[in-house]
C-alpha cells in the first residue's frame, strides 16, 4: 500500500501576502527613475520580493525601481529590484516576479498588506 504524498514544504524566505486595496504601484525600468511607469497592479508582496502585473515585457535580470504608495503610509516606499521571471498574460499585460535588492522593512510590509 502506497503512503499518501505529504504536501510540499514552502521554501520561500518570507511568505507572500496579498496587498491592501489602497496599494498603488509604480514600476520603472532601471534605477534612475527615468522612464515610463509600466506598473499596473500588485499581485502579492513579501519582505524579499514582489509579483506584479506590468504593461510591457521586462527581461529577467533587468533592474527596476518599484514605488509602493498607500493611504496608510506617510510617504511612498521605493525599492530597487531585479526581475527574476516574466510571463505574458492573456490580456496583453505581463506578470513579473522581482527580487528586492534589500529586504523590505517588516513594519512597511504589514502596513501594505
Amino acid 112: pLDDT: 84
pLDDT digits (tens, 9 = 90+) for 65-100: 999 988 888 888 899 999 999 999 999 999 999 999
CB 56 within 8 A of CB 62: no
pLDDT digits (tens, 9 = 90+) for 45-63: 999 999 999 999 999 999 9
Is residue 1's pLDDT more than 60? no
CATH fold for domain 24-112: Thrombin, subunit H (2.40.10)
- Give Rg (Cα) of the chain: 15
Predicted TM-score (pTM) of this structure: 0.81
- Would you give the distance in Å from CA 11 to the centre of its chain? 18
CB 95 within 8 A of CB 53: yes
Amino acid at each position: 500500500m502506497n503512503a499518501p504524498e505529504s504536501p510540499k514544504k514552502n521554501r520561500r524566505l518570507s511568505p507572500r501576502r496579498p496587498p491592501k486595496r489602497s496599494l498603488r504601484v509604480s514600476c520603472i525600468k532601471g534605477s534612475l527613475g527615468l522612464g515610463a511607469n509600466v506598473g499596473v497592479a500588485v499581485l502579492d508582496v513579501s519582505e524579499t520580493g514582489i509579483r506584479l502585473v506590468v504593461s510591457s515585457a521586462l527581461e529577467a535580470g533587468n533592474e527596476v525601481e518599484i514605488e509602493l504608495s498607500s493611504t496608510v503610509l506617510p510617504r511612498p516606499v521605493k525599492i530597487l529590484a531585479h526581475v527574476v521571471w516574466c510571463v505574458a498574460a492573456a490580456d496583453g499585460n505581463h506578470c513579473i516576479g522581482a527580487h528586492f535588492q534589500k529586504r523590505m522593512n517588516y513594519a512597511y510590509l504589514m502596513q501594505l498588506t
